[in-house]
Amino acid sequence: MQKAAPSIEAINKELPQTQCQKCGFNGCKPYAEAILNGEPINQCPPGGDQVIKELANLMGQKPIPLNQAHGVFETRKVAVVREEECIGCTKCLPACPVDAILGSAKRMHVVITSECSGCELCVDPCPVDCIEMKLINQEEQPNELGITGNNVDQNLRDHWASRHNKKTTRTARLAKSLFSQKSEHLKHTKKFSREKARAEIQKAIVRARERKEFLKFRAPREPDES
C-alpha cells in the first residue's frame, strides 16, 4: 500500500524555522508547502544533511546532497549590532522575520540574542554595515530556550515559527489597512476632481449662455455714414 502524503505541518516541523529564505521561499512553511508539491528536499542550508535525511524519511525519498546553489551548511551565528556605529535608521527592523531587533527611529538598535534565529536577513539592509554575524558564546550569551549550535531544540524552533507567523499576520494586516487608506484617499481625490470639473463645466455653460444673450440683444450698429 502506498504511504499517505505527510501534512504541511509535519514537513514544516522538520525544518529549522530560521526563516532565512535561503531555500527560495518566504520562510519555512512556504517551503514545506512547496516540498509537498514536489520541490526538492535539499534546499535548506541551515538544516544541512540532517534535515535532508529527516525529510527524505518523511517523504519516502532517498536522501540527496544539499543543493549548494542555496548556500552551505554553517555553524549557526547570531546578529550583533555594533552600537557605536548604529545610526538608528530602522531599516533592519522590517527585515527581521522573528522580530528580534529592538529600536526606533534615531535610537540605537539592539538584537535580542535569545530571539535571533541567525537568518542574516538584517545584514544587507544596514546602510552603515554595523550588523555582524557572530558565533554564539554559550558562556556570555546563555539562552533560556537552549541554543546549542545548530542543534536547536524544538521549543526554540516553535518559538521562531510562532514569532514569524505573528509578524507575517501583522505585516499583512498593516499592508491591507494602508491599501484601504490609500484607496479611500484616491476615492476622495477623484470625487473632489469630478465635482470640480462639473462646476467648471457648469460655469462655462453659464458664460456661453450669457454671451449668446448679449449678442442677441446687442443694439445693431448704425450704418457707416461716410
Instruction: Please give the residue ranges that form the binding site for ligand SF4 (CB under 6 A).
Output: 15-16, 18-23, 25, 27-28, 31, 44-47, 79, 95-96, 98, 100-101, 111, 116-122
Backbone angles phi, psi at 223, to 5 degrees: -65, 150
* CA separation for the pair 186, 161 (Å, rounded): 37
- Distance of closest approach, residue 197 Cβ to ligand SF4, in angstroms: 49
Does residue 64 sit in helix, strand or coil?
coil
- Distance of closest approach, residue 44 Cβ to ligand SF4, in angstroms: 3
Q: Which is nearer to ligand SF4, 7 or 202 (by Cβ)?
A: 7
Per the DSSP assignment, residues forming a β-bridge with 110 are 102
- Distance of closest approach, residue 194 Cβ to ligand SF4, in angstroms: 46
| Nearest-5° Cα angle at 199, 196 to 204 | 125
Q: Which is nearer to ligand SF4, 86 or 119 (by Cβ)?
A: 119
- Separation of CA 73 from chain center: 24
Q: Which is nearer to ligand SF4, 120 or 156 (by Cβ)?
A: 120
Q: Which is nearer to ligand SF4, 95 or 108 (by Cβ)?
A: 95
Q: Which is nearer to ligand SF4, 3 or 52 (by Cβ)?
A: 52
Residue 21 falls in which region: left (phi positive, over 0), alpha (psi -120 to 50) or beta: left
- Distance of closest approach, residue 180 Cβ to ligand SF4, in angstroms: 29
Taken in order 40, 46, 51, 52, is the CA torsion positive or negative?
positive
- Distance of closest approach, residue 6 Cβ to ligand SF4, in angstroms: 15
* Residue 114: all three cell numbers together: 535569545
Query: Which residue has 546563555 as its cell numbers?
Result: 142
Query: Which residue has 444673450 as its cell numbers?
Result: 213
* CA separation for the pair 177, 47 (Å, rounded): 36
- Separation of CA 66 from chain center: 26
- Distance of closest approach, residue 203 Cβ to ligand SF4, in angstroms: 58
Q: Which is nearer to ligand SF4, 85 or 213 (by Cβ)?
A: 85
